Structure 1
């Protein structure tokens, strides 16, 4: 906060060339003291950017303040008013914000017509901000804009920061206190958005409509009319609903829900039919009752959730009676879709991912021979079995399968055996792969270093646990070219992602996280079929198995199945994790 305030103080820093108020009381002593103070102040600013100065220029600012204070004590002269401003700024850099505020209030009471009043109100507003008095801070910035003779948009950054920090009740009071059109507009819009955040779109619309008179004849009138239209579109009665089933009292639920809400709002602004959200929070004791409650809402055409695989297993007992598609955005356990014809997994299960990297290795990398080295753990066994079966199905050959104790870190013996098999087979190394699924990313360095030291030079293939930049980079001498799977991969430079982040931040005031993207992609996937006119659970059920959807975090392809067949294949190359392809497994 202190750094932010000090940065903003520089925006209106007074230049020496205009530091003469215009009074006829010229005082040569005051002139000399003032110029010395300005030089000390500049030295203070320069020293703050000097790495060797650990004091942050404190001594310079203190001496500058003393110079300016001496000018003030000389009585009214041509440097008096400027000295008030510079003395207050010096005090701010000394962290004496309360003293700086007192000085500025004294200045404003004595010199209400000074040309420095704008700067005084602005600086005083920043001081209130620092001291936590947010409503007075906003009012001072508002007064600064009222007397400003220049473009008031230069204040937008600090105004936005203030408004974002103030609670709804205080903002509503401030909306009626501020005078400048610019500030009033920003406050009114923020209040309306905060009201709408709880789903009260009618109240948000009315709040703006009741204040339109303040903006008649200004550029903000049309903007507010557009905002009213926005809320009217959101208020349109939904013809169909998406059920949402999330665990109660968990932050991940709110992240997923934000993504879903944003996708639905965007749809309702641009497309028909209008879609609503039917939300249920559950716990381990009432999840069965909560999922069955959707039966009483005939508009629900599909359900997003639950989050955890074990909760999906519980819902599987009841979903056949509902005959509503249940789409889990995150569950990854194998066999979930086999529990009910109505269960869909957008997050591919581990067997599907193993098949994907096997197909990619054979058909895209041109590998024909494979070693498998994996921890002896029941969680990994199905992954290994799926990989081996797929390699054989694709006419590849598995030369050796080895399992090590999960606590074992000395794997040299296993690599000596692989080396012996390689020597006996005498096959070119460029068509040989090592599939090494792991449970712990610490094994990235253990495995890749052994490949290097045994001079095997085979293509290393991994599971999602390999998607760990820190470990890959730490062992970059050995990991360049490692290929592995991922349930999702965001291109942070893509325009689609940047647009999503902007809209999300405008809506919620925070950056989206991974789970928000999961919710957003899942809802958009469903909305694609609803937009096409598939409104009943049966219509949605049949349609989502055929739709190919390209999302921000992942693509979704079911191809008449119910487990997402599209897997991100990543590579660590040139010290970066890159997406090689989005692989859709072949039947």
Structure 2
């Protein structure tokens, strides 16, 4: 008996010695170690450490955070079911935790990954209804609209609404229900839902949109709904100024035709294509309008190509309810001219704004110099950039202008040199590629080696390889980027050439990617032109070869390509989504 007691004592003593001598006895220290391993990407080791915090110690200040990180690691390891189990137990055990929003958001993300859309929406509504944090509430609201209108039916959204308790979330769910009715082609029920929202939730923030949508509905009240879908193309195919070379409109049209042809081969419900030559002529556009407008089978128009002709067409189609989408027009004021007009090519204001957001949020720069030409779109880009950068909290250290093609920059660069030590970069939106060598040479001679940011005219600049300081230090936005070496694109290029005998260029992709967006819209709605317009505004993202396409109620594509110059090669950094 004594021998047995001695053995037990030795065993206990040995265990105590092992734990005190070889393991941390402080949960904070173990948590810090786990966090370091996590940051280093050593997820299996980090998981062991987080589990040590959970299992070896009693409940402590790091318990709930450790559970969140365990769920994160399971997600990274693609152990989705394990992550769901951890998160659901977390929500049950710690309903008042400061990490509750993050847990709900992770559960929503995991459920979406598993295509459990209803469950994902439940998690997002919990955040929207219960969170005290504006960031989480706004993110949940934004995500709910995309999720509900792309993956749930009106009946499912009503079912979600029945589970909600607070006025703010119930009014928003009712707004989403009305929008779902529109996508389902039931204008009557949509109108009733808007009426209910205005009657029962008159103090909610959804009232303004409900009134506007209700008013829009009235203009589509007598719309004839047909099952047939036709896309009309309005392009200047007879172009006297392009007689000696390929007409860009023809190239864009080839991309559209290829996309529609692909769609019709793969789907039972076909989409028709009506191609009309505007001839750049007002009378011709009016004739086309009188043909298309009364035909309910025509659900939308792609075109025109150039901003001036778009302006003319919008005047002629002013009273029409046809959605009109230009693949290439860039003028800033076009969407204000017609409530149904969409710009697939980002306008200048959005491009300047997008670069400001990228530099501030991604590059983490706070002090920038701006140098722009006084001609063309350069001042538009500069003004938009400055407005957004300062709004975000950045500072414009200096602003200088020059005259394009007649450039004398010695005094200008001297002024920039005086401020360069206070700056973290220079934004130079070119209007002419020939200005760049003069600017670069003067910057180099003055020892100014700051990162340069700009617009897509930098694509065309010759001699960049002469400035080694530009490697990884020249970043600019563009409405297109084509990775010819990407395997999927190479295969697509091959098929396109075999079918058409034409090599793909950016014009072809302007047409192809937009047509892919339009066919996705038509495939996912039941109804007429209003449903088409509404679906396009719903915020769904269509990935494209030259750029992604996404619209919201502003009706301007929210994506720009951000490109880096590195060792003589242009590299895509990101297809960057610009935030309102």
Q: Tell whether the structures are fold-level matches, with TM greater than 0.5.
A: yes
Which stretch of the first structure deviates more once superposed, 401-410 or 353-362? 401-410
Q: Does 2:236 align with 1:247?
A: yes
Equivalence for 1:436? 428
**Counterparts of 1:130-529 in structure 2 under 5 Å?**
239-250=228-239, 251-283=247-279, 284-285=281-282, 286-377=284-375, 379-422=377-420, 427=422, 432-468=424-460, 470-473=462-465, 475-476=467-468, 478=470, 480-529=472-521
Q: State the Cα deviation string for residues 46-97 of structure 1 (Å, max 9, x = none).
A: xxxxxxxxxxxxxxxxxxxxxxxxxxxxxxxxxxxxxxxxxxxxxxxxxxxx
Which structure 1 segments of 5+ residues have no match?
Answer: 1-236
Distance 2:506 2:405 in 1: 31
Contact 2:465 2:567 in 1 (8 A): no
Contact 1:238 1:274 in 2 (8 A): no
Q: 1:333 to 1:551 in 2, by over 3 A?
A: same
Distance 2:476 2:289 in 1: 36
Specify the structure having the higher radius of gyration (Cα). Answer: 1
Instruction: Name the TM-score, length of structure 1 as normaliser.
Output: 0.56
CA shift at 1:295, angstroms? 1.1
Q: Does 2:547 align with 1:549?
A: no
Does the residue aligned with 1:556 lie in a helix, a strand or coil?
coil
Distance 2:287 2:467 in 1: 50
Which structure 2 segments of 5+ residues have no match?
Answer: 1-225, 240-246
Contact 1:352 1:565 in 2 (8 A): yes
Q: State the Cα deviation string for residues 293-323 of structure 1 (Å, max 9, x = none).
A: 2113221111000000001101111334220
Contact 2:470 2:566 in 1 (8 A): no
Distance 2:412 2:319 in 1: 51
Aligned length: 345
Q: State the Cα deviation string for residues 369-403 of structure 1 (Å, max 9, x = none).
A: 11111112253222211111001111000111111
Q: 1:457 to 1:474 in 2, by over 3 A?
A: closer
Contact 2:402 2:408 in 1 (8 A): no
Equivalence for 2:559? 566
CA shift at 1:532, angstroms? 1.4
Equivalence for 1:48? none
Distance 2:271 2:420 in 1: 59
Does the residue aligned with 1:248 lie in a helix, a strand or coil?
coil
Q: 1:448 to 1:535 in 2, by over 3 A?
A: farther
Contact 1:334 1:350 in 2 (8 A): yes
> Which of 1 and 2 has higher RCO (CA within 8 Å, sep 6+)?
2
Q: 1:496 to 1:302 in 2, by over 3 A?
A: farther
CA shift at 1:269, angstroms? 1.3
Q: State the Cα deviation string for residues 390-444 of structure 1 (Å, max 9, x = none).
A: 0111100011111112243331211111222345xxx4x5xx1211111111222
CA shift at 1:533, angstroms? 3.0
CA shift at 1:534, angstroms? 4.2
Which stretch of the first structure deviates more once superposed, 457-466 or 479-488? 479-488
Contact 1:445 1:475 in 2 (8 A): no
CA shift at 1:475, angstroms? 4.5
Contact 2:477 2:561 in 1 (8 A): yes
Q: State the Cα deviation string for residues 124-148 of structure 1 (Å, max 9, x = none).
A: xxxxxxxxxxxxxxxxxxxxxxxxx
Contact 1:242 1:301 in 2 (8 A): yes
CA shift at 1:512, angstroms? 2.4
Q: State the Cα deviation string for residues 251-291 of structure 1 (Å, max 9, x = none).
A: 32322222111111111111242100011101224223323
Output the aligned Cα RMSD. 2.0
Q: 1:526 to 1:422 in 2, by over 3 A?
A: same
Q: State the Cα deviation string for residues 212-253 of structure 1 (Å, max 9, x = none).
A: xxxxxxxxxxxxxxxxxxxxxxxxx99210010010324323
CA shift at 1:535, angstroms? 4.8
Which stretch of the first structure deviates more once superposed, 357-366 or 467-476? 467-476
Distance 2:266 2:394 in 1: 49
Does the residue aligned with 1:549 lie in a helix, a strand or coil?
coil
Instruction: Name the TM-score, length of structure 2 as normaliser.
Output: 0.57
Distance 2:508 2:558 in 1: 22
Distance 1:471 1:337 in 2: 38
Distance 1:324 1:260 in 2: 19
